[in-house]
Copies of this chain bind each other. A is one copy, B any other.
Amino acid sequence: MQQFVKRIDHIALVVEDIDKALEFWQDGLGMKPSHMEEVPGEGSLVAFLPAKESEVELVSPTSENSGVARYLKKRGPGMHHICLEVYDIEATMAHLKGKGVRLINEKPEIGTGGKKIAFIHPESTNGVLVELYELSGQELQIRIAKARELAERVLTEGQLRAAAAMDFLRNLRNGNGEKEKN
């Protein structure tokens, strides 16, 4: 059986007002937003609250005509969707289609920072809106650059330790090894 899911990326919660919601999530539980962002195309404001390798996403409307505002009027605040990070979004979508699962997006959409996303219809998931997400494009490059920066720092430390080890061995060879212990 092929594993398509890497991890749970986030759980999205629809709220009336993000500041008000942060009274619980931040002041109550100590979960601090890593970033907040207005999404003008969707008439919404979002805040991401990391908890180890997953996040809680708060979504609130910025206009009365937005989908989020309509959702709130119809259903009230609460859980909106689960986002799963997958290894390969195209392969996952093709496999799901083969199983008769109804997809909202026929092809992955390109989101902020170049990431690929697609939604699965709640009809095929027992009423749960599921988002698929693949780390890719610009976002991947940014992360790789950060990882490289970190690797270079670690390498430098590693080189320093290697140099110290070489000194130690040189001392041993010259019969000064015992001195090191004093």
Give every chain B residue within 8 A of A26 (Cβ-Cβ).
1
Give every chain B residue within 8 A of A78 (Cβ-Cβ).
79, 122, 126-128
CB distance from A1 to the nearest CB of B (A): 5
Q: How many residues of A contact B (CB 8 A)?
A: 49
Copies of this chain: 2
Dominant SS among interface residues on chain A: mixed
**Inter-chain contact B51/A7, CB cutoff 8 Å:** yes
Which chain A residues have a beta carbon within 8 Å of chain B's beta carbons? 1-8, 11, 13, 15-16, 20-21, 23-24, 26-32, 51-54, 56, 76-79, 82, 84, 92, 95-96, 99, 101, 122, 124-128, 169, 172-173, 177
